[in-house]
Structure formats: structure tokens, C-alpha cells
Chains A and B, each alone.
Chain A
Amino acid sequence: MFGEKALELIRELHRSTEGVLPPFNDEGIRQVLEEMRSLYEQNQADVSATVAGEQGLFSGVQLRHASLERDKRCLLAYLYNRLQKIRNMRWEFGSVLPADIKTNMSEQEVQWFTKYNKCLANYMRRLGDSGLDLTQDMQPPKS
């Protein structure tokens, strides 16, 4: 059934415990994109055949399109949820992430993290007279 590989990515993330970032699954993403390419090509062929007069191919086109949308959703959700974890880690660990977390991040995620740091730093610098580090004292001090 289509969408199985994409679902595997989602399940992998679902299995990971809170605060843990599993390694970036490059190969999994590549396989899903490959499935999407194949589905799209089959649809192109069926659409051309329908234009040429062949009947009854719409059901296949509809099913493959649903599978394409499903694959897309799974891929985007995989990436989005990983970024959410990384973002939360910024607030927990600071602007320098532990090495064992960084090794599980892709190059693009590292770039995203750098930009996120910059956005956050710019925002905090503008607060009050001399800026305010919002990531400190996340729990109210006992005093």
C-alpha cells in the first residue's frame, strides 16, 4: 500500500521519547520522494491516456493523488515535529546544543537552528532598556 514508508518516518518520531531527537532519516525521506515521483508519473500517463480517449482511469488517478497528498503530509509533519523538538531544546539547553544532539541533526536543521537563535537573540535584545534573556529563570526563583 502506498504511504507505508512515509508512515514509518512518523512512527519513528512517535516512538522517540520527549526531549530525544532521533537521527535524521535521510534515506527514509529519499524513498518517500521516490514513491511520490513514481505516483506522479503514473498519473501523468493516465491523464494523457484519458485525454486520448481511454476510459475508466480516473479512479487510479484519484487514488494516486490521495497517496501523493498523504506522502507530502507525512514528510512535512516529520520535518515540522523535528524542528519543534529542536526549538524546545534551544530553551532547555541554550544556544549551544549538546554534541550528541547535534550529531542527530541534518545540515539544514543546523542552519534552521542558527537562524532561530538569531531571531530569538534579536527579539530579546529589543526588550527593555538593555535586552532581557527570556531563556533564563524559566521557573520563578525561590526568592
Chain B
Amino acid sequence: LVEIPYTRYSSSSDNYYCIDDIIATCEKIPSKVEQPLFRLGFLDPSTDNTTIQPGTKLELPFWLASSLCTRRRRLVSVDMPKTYKDSFREILKADANVVDLHKIGPYYYSFGSKLLHFDHPEIGDIADSLLQGFISRFRRIMDSSQNAYNEDTTHLTCKLDESERCVFKAGQKGLDDFQRWQTG
């Protein structure tokens, strides 16, 4: 009956009606055309041709790329976005807490999980990176959400991605409930 943030977070992956999930799937993914796309020239604003030739590079939203890159028929192939590639993963590994995940993509974990849908050599490393990144940052999120009572928390949440903000909000709610119980 009451919107519980962590429920929204835990159910955001692949939940059909979830607004966050729909927005996350708009994120663009670098793609390469593998077969001629007849009469679909409008997808490539750099050309006047009506057909997109194999080899053309495009940035397609995830929801479209995942439909065009299936095991049965690969009309396009995909590459991982820069913020999930090796160089960025190293930054996250070095010190995940300093990274502004909200600026990079407000749905960093959610979108990253969706990338695992593709058959790509870096998938295993990306999965590890997402998990380790979340674990590294979680402690600070938990601590700050449990200690910031009745104050402006913008500086604590500005660099968090949306999933982390839900976790922070859940922590704040717990703190608030405890304070209310203490004061009767």
C-alpha cells in the first residue's frame, strides 16, 4: 500500500510496467549493421540513402538493438558502451566511491544488467564489475542513509545511480521509522 523504494529497485529488472525500466532501456548502445537494412535509411542521419549498408555504425536504443541482435537473426551486432568497457571498469575498481554514477547514466546498474543479455566477450567482466562496484559503494550508502536525519541529503545522493538512490531512500525511511518509534 505504501510505496517501498527497495521493492521498486528489486523489481525493476524486466518488469513490464516499470517506468524506470522503460527509461533505462532507452539508453543508446553502439551497434554495427550486419545485413542491408532496406528502406530504413532514416536510422542513419549522416546519410541520404534509403538503405543502410553492412558495416555502418549506429547508436541504437537498447530496446531496439536487442530486437535486431538475436541469436536467430543478427541484423546488427553490438559493442559495449564506453562506461562499461575495460578502461572505465578499471576506474571503478580503483575507487568506486568517487565515481559519479548519476552523471554517467542514471540507471548504471540496471542498464548494465541488461547488457548481459548480449553475447559479447566482455559480459563476464562487466557482470563482475557491476557487482563489485555496487558492493564497494553500498557500505557508504548504508552508513550515510542511517546517519543523516532531518537534513538536506542532496550532497549524499547526487552521485548515486537510481538503484542506489532507492536503497538510500529505504535506509532513510528505516531511520525515520526508528526515530518515530523512539519518540513514541
Touch A–B, Cβ below 8 Å: yes
A97 sits at the interface (CB 8 A)? no
What residues of B have a CB within 8 angstroms of the CB of A88 in the complex? 1, 3
Instruction: Return the contact of B19 from the options A1, A60, A67, A81 (Cβ within 8 A).
Output: A81
Evaluate contact between B16 and A77: CB separation under 8 angstroms. Answer: yes
- Cα separation A1 to B65 with both chains bound (whole Å): 13
B68 touches A10 (CB 8 A): no
Q: Mark A1-19, 1 if CB is under 8 A from B, else 0.
A: 1010001001101100010
- If A14-B19, A14-B23, A91-B1 touch, whether A60 touches B63 (CB-CB below 8 Å) is no
Query: Does A80 sit at the interface, judged by CB under 8 A?
Result: yes
User: Which residues of A are interface residues toward B (Cβ below 8 A)?
Assistant: 1, 3, 7, 10-11, 13-14, 18, 56-60, 62-63, 65-67, 69-70, 73-74, 76-77, 80-81, 88, 91, 138, 142
Nearest A residue (CB) for B65: A66
- A77–B23 contact, CB under 8 A? no
Interface size for chain B: under 10, 10 to 19, 20 to 34, or 35 or more residues?
Answer: 20 to 34
Contact of A10 among B16, B19, B39, B73 (CB under 8 A): B19
B3 touches A18 (CB 8 A): yes
Contact partners of A77 in chain B: CB under 8 A: 16-19, 22
Specify the main secondary structure of chain A where it touches its partner.
Answer: helix
Chain B residues in 8 Å Cβ range of A58: 73
The residue on A at minimum CB distance from B33 is A59
Residue of A nearest to B15 (CB): A77
User: Inside 8 A of A142's CB, which chain B residues have their CB?
Assistant: 184
Distance from B76 Cβ to chain A, minimum over Cβ atoms (Å): 9
Residues on B facing A (Cβ under 8 Å): 1, 3, 16-20, 22-23, 26, 35-40, 43, 61, 63-64, 67-68, 73, 75, 184
CA distance A36 to B179 in the complex (A): 51
- Contact between B73 and A62 (Cβ–Cβ < 8 Å)? yes
Once the chains bind, are B1 and A81 in contact (CB under 8 Å)?
Answer: no
Known: A3-B63, A66-B68, A80-B17. Is A60-B39 also a contact (CB below 8 A)? Answer: yes
Decide yes or no: A67 and B17 within 8 Å by CB, A7-B26, A60-B37 being known contacts: no
Q: Which of B20, B26, B75 contacts A59 (CB 8 A)?
A: B75
A60 touching B1, Cβ below 8 Å: no
Q: Which residues of B contact A1 (CB under 8 A)?
A: 43, 61
Chain B residues with Cβ below 8 Å from A3 are 61, 63-64
For the complex of A and B, list the 8 residue pairs with the smallest distance between their C-beta atoms, beginning with the closest: A66-B67, A80-B17, A56-B38, A77-B17, A59-B37, A59-B75, A14-B19, A10-B22
Asked if A63 contacts B67 (CB within 8 A), the reply is yes
Q: Closest residue to B70 on the A side, CB-wise?
A: A62
Q: B61 near A76 (CB under 8 angstroms)?
A: no
